[in-house]
Amino acid sequence: MSSNSTADDLCAPDDNLCIVLEHMQAVIIVPTLLLLGTLVTLLALCLVQYCPEEKRSQVSPFQRSSYRRSSHRQHLQGIDAPAGINPMEHEELPMSVQEEQLTVVPTLAAVPKVSTERQHGAFSQVTVLPQSFSIRPDDTTGLYRARMDSRDVVLRVLKERANSSERQHFLGFASFVSGLGPHPFLPELLGVVSVQPPPMMVVEELQHRDLLGFLWRCRQDNAGVESPCDITEKKIFSMAEQVASALEYLHSQSCIHGNIGAHSVLVGGDLTAKLWGLGSAYRRTAQAAASPGDGEEKRKWQAPEVLSRRGVSQSSDVWSFGILLYEMVTLGDPPFAKINETELLQHLQRGKHLKRPTGCSNSLYSVIRACCHWRPEQRLSTSELIRTLHEAEKSANGSTALRASEPLDIEKYLKEAGYAERHNYAVL
């Protein structure tokens, strides 16, 4: 017999209290126990699910990433700063190749920030590094020489007065350079400090700094019998091949340099040449048309199609490379010295070209002409350029040092090179 019939038998039909008491166990107590059991089970599942995650979150992002990358990365550990630089400690950002598409404008969020406590003393002998030649001071960054891990480095420091846009540009450029990866003829990026102000990039220092300043010093030192910076034509082919190798690598990374010249090449103590001056390549890749420093490319180094605003290409980099060779063989003379930069395109349209410098061999001048064809498709490719330079080096003169026809006149150079007030000669 059912419980309903039992309750009916025990209780009068109108005795509601009796009926409720009889049904209490089935209707109230059992469901309540079931509900409590369900809540206890859910609570246990939550503890199992979230407690391990909380413990894992206590491991810093740097600890997780260091398991994968610590074997091949040097760390920045702070700075003993002179007056003018804020002391930096407990902050570091070892750079790694970025996974993001380089066509996207980098933002502050795109640059990972890593914080870990470090001891002082990784940097020593920090001194201001004067620029070789500056028309307009750089208001956003300062250059410093320092020692880190028994090697010379250059600190490119963002100044305190930089605004958020300039900070974003600075960190985006650091991320861009890191994303290019290592190459023997690109300056090595050793790291970036970004969390604790001021942000800075740490790049290897090359003893002779920029090639243009080095060529000018060679021009001045050539008064001596055995100048330590004498350059022969053989050395030109060797250094040019190194720069061409770096350029070919950039092109393989879908990166057009756009600003090749002696001002954008760095020279080591053993006369190793490394291609730098990547600011315009970053602005173009990031599509940051209004980035700081925009429009600083030198017109007399640009290919005709760039002068006529038809865009840059790998072939226009090869044209600029030909101008670089001209600078090297003349020990830093400006190209098209007698032509006003506003008239250069018309000059080239009439079939004119760079004249052969005094003391330039047929083989070197033929490479210059092969790079500076009017039609882009007729210029050498970077792979052809490397092979041509390599073959020419074998028979080049390695004993006779190059000499300049006249001493350096800075004011004359500025006028003939087409520098304007917006230009700032600084590659780091």
Integer angstrom CA distances of residue 343 from 48, 386, 402: 76, 32, 31
Mean pLDDT over the full length of the chain: 77
Q: Which residue has the higher pLDDT, 321 or 156?
A: 321
Are residues 144 and 126 in contact, defined by beta-carbon separation less than 8 angstroms? yes
Q: What percent of the chain has pLDDT over 90?
A: 43
Structure token digits, residue 45: 């599942």
What's the confidence (pLDDT) of residue 290?
39
Is the pLDDT reported for residue 156 higher than 80? Answer: yes
Q: Assign domain 209-417 to a CATH class.
A: mainly alpha
Q: How confident is the model at residue 8 (pLDDT cuts 50, 70, 90)?
A: low
DSSP reduced 3-state for 201: strand
Structure token digits, residue 283: 């602005």
What's the confidence (pLDDT) of residue 6?
54
Segment 83-112 mean pLDDT: 38
What's the confidence (pLDDT) of residue 334?
95
What's the confidence (pLDDT) of residue 36?
84
CATH number at 74-204:
3.30.200.20
Tens digits of residue pLDDT in 225-268: 444 578 999 999 999 999 999 999 999 999 999 999 999 999 99
Rounded to an integer, what distance in angstroms lies between the CA atom of residue 236 and that of residue 325?
Answer: 8
Rounded to an integer, what distance in angstroms lies between the CA atom of residue 412 and that of residue 410?
Answer: 5
Tell me, yes or no, if the pTM score tops 0.75: no
Tens digits of residue pLDDT in 267-302: 999 999 999 999 989 988 876 443 444 445 689 999
Is the pLDDT reported for residue 75 higher than 50? Answer: no
Tens digits of residue pLDDT in 341-383: 899 999 999 999 999 998 899 999 999 999 999 999 999 999 9
Structure token digits, residue 328: 């090297």
Segment 49-73 mean pLDDT: 42
Per-domain boundaries in the chain: 3-42, 74-204, 209-417
Tens digits of residue pLDDT in 115-152: 322 223 466 777 887 766 555 556 788 888 888 888 88
What's the confidence (pLDDT) of residue 272?
96
Is the pLDDT reported for residue 186 higher than 80? Answer: yes
